[in-house]
Amino acid sequence: MLKFPIYLDNNATTPMDPRVLEAMIPYFTEHFGNAASRNHPFGWEAEEAVDYAREQVAALIGADPKEIIFTSGATEGDNLGIKGVYEMYASKGNHIITATTEHKAVLDTCKHIEKLGGEVTYLEVKEDGLINLAELEAAIRPTTILVAIMYANNEIGVVQPIKEIATITKKHGVLFFTDGVQAVGKIPVDVIKDGIDIMAFTAHKMYGPKGIGALYVRRKNPRVKVTAQMDGGGHERGMRSGTLNVPGIVGFGKACELARLEMADDAARLSKLRDKLETALLQIEESYVNGNREHRLPHVANISFKHVEGEGLLMGFNKNIALSSGSACTSASLEPSYVLKALGLGDDLAHSSLRFGLGRFTTEEQIDYTIEQITNTVNKLREMSPLWEMYKEGIDLNSIEWAHH
């Protein structure tokens, strides 16, 4: 029996795995100590739990536990990683390179740095969503201190050429920061093999709790330091003050352990389901996949259905299926997704897109239902769409003078 609503928005957040919750519960009530309390068993217990979780988190990404700085989540990690490098390495330079398809937590941090007097280059992406490595290398200046390119994109799921980027940054003696939010726990991420210097990631995108994340900060070859963005008790090797969120950290650790053990099976199963979904939806006339299909997360698909508006499409089934769209009909600006636009998609196709994020608890039955619902709704809305009618009559929509409002 299908249970509604079906959740296919796992790029936004994931449900917590019950095994994670189970691990966390004792740390709310019984073992409630402050991990910084050095003089009694409550503190010792908490510290021990944090140390263990730190090992679990580090193991998932091939890091040393000492390289894990706990944060409140990836937005904080992005801020701390980028602003922290900008301040710490001010004597070396003030130039940062990023890309236009980054998450707002990176883009807005970079804009903030520009206000402080820093210089930022925003690389355009190719139409498949990947950056151009030659452009990246050409953008490096003597004053460049950091390259900030995400591991995998949250809207289209494309996976950037991380190893190749790291080779370039290493060659030029520039640090490499990556927002690993969508990739960590979903595909193998190894900070040593990948050559990553700093990486932000978070628990709630990998079946852990909200409000806890981590920043990986490399300690060897090179030894990296970031300037703290919050002043206080000097926790987390002085880079992030604040009493540790022990239950959250314990949950994060458990989530990382489960991801390390189950990632390969999850990915294999989900890529099959994703491919089934995608193949079926591409049977619909005038439907297109956005982003590179080869270098992509196994559980993500972003598809545009021409001449149907995304929000209107969602309304056809959003009581039963939770999805998101690149359409921004609800936003005051009426601007569609900047990520899709960066791929060179027209605004009309960006408005017509749906983002599918499958997850650990997605079933084949749910995918079958989703295929049926979306196909029916697209067909129904096209019957109602003046654009579809014109397209069918062979009218070139670009030849019409639209009244832009």
The C-alpha atoms of residue 64 and residue 316 are separated, in whole angstroms, by 48
Regarding 211 and contact with other proteins (CB under 8 A), the answer is no
Q: Residue 381 Cβ, how far from other proteins at the closest point, in Å? A: 8
402 is a site residue for other proteins (CB under 8 A): yes
389 binds other proteins (CB under 8 A): yes
**Cβ atoms within 10 A of the Cβ of 115, count?**
7
Q: What's the Cα-to-Cα distance from 315 to each of 308, 377, 384, rounded to whole Å?
A: 12, 9, 14
d(CA 120, CA 312): 37
| Pairing state between β 198-202 and 353-357 | unpaired
Residue 46 half-sphere exposure, CB side, CA atoms within 13 Å? 23
* Beta carbon of residue 325, minimum distance to other proteins (angstroms, whole number): 10
List the one residue out of 401, 345, 368 whose CA is nearest residue 279. 368
Q: Applying CB under 8 A, does 115 fall inside the site for other proteins?
A: no
Q: Which is nearer to other proteins, 76 or 309 (CB)?
A: 309
329 catalytic, yes or no?
Answer: yes
Q: Is 348 in the site for other proteins (CB under 8 A)?
A: yes
Nearest 5°: phi and psi at 100?
Answer: -70, -15
- Give the range of 73-81, 113-121, 127-135, 302-310 binding other proteins by CB under 8 A: 302-310
Rg of the chain, C-alpha, whole Å? 22
CA nearest neighbour of 285 among 273, 303, 310: 303
Specify the residue, 18 or 386, whose C-beta has the smaller distance to other proteins: 386
Segment lying near other proteins (by CB under 8 A), choices 52-60, 73-81, 263-271, 387-395: 387-395
Out of 386, 394, 396, 399, the only residue in the binding site for other proteins (CB under 8 A) is: 386
Query: Measured from the CB of residue 376, what is the shortest distance to other proteins in angstroms?
Result: 12
The residue range among 17-25, 99-107, 242-250, 306-314 that interacts with other proteins, by the rule CB under 8 A, is 306-314
- Give the Cα separation of 31 and 61 in Å (integer): 28
Is residue 268 close enough to count as binding other proteins by CB under 8 A? no
Copy the structure tokens of residue 363. Answer: 């079933």
Decide: is 62 part of the binding site for other proteins (CB under 8 A). Answer: no
Longest dimension (CA), the chain: 80
Name which of residues 307 to 346 contact other proteins (CB under 8 A). Answer: 307-312, 315-316, 327-332, 334, 336, 346
397 lies in the site for other proteins, by CB under 8 A: yes
Quick one: DSSP state of residue 197?
Answer: S
Residue of 116, 138, 329, 395 marked catalytic = 329
Q: Return the number of other C-beta atoms located less than 10 Å from residue 371's C-beta.
A: 18
Q: In the complex, what is the shortest distance from the CB of residue 307 to other proteins, in angstroms, rounded to a whole number?
A: 6
Catalytic (active-site) positions: 329
Interface contacts to other proteins, rule CB under 8 A: 307-312, 315-316, 327-332, 334, 336, 346-348, 351, 383-389, 397, 400, 402-405
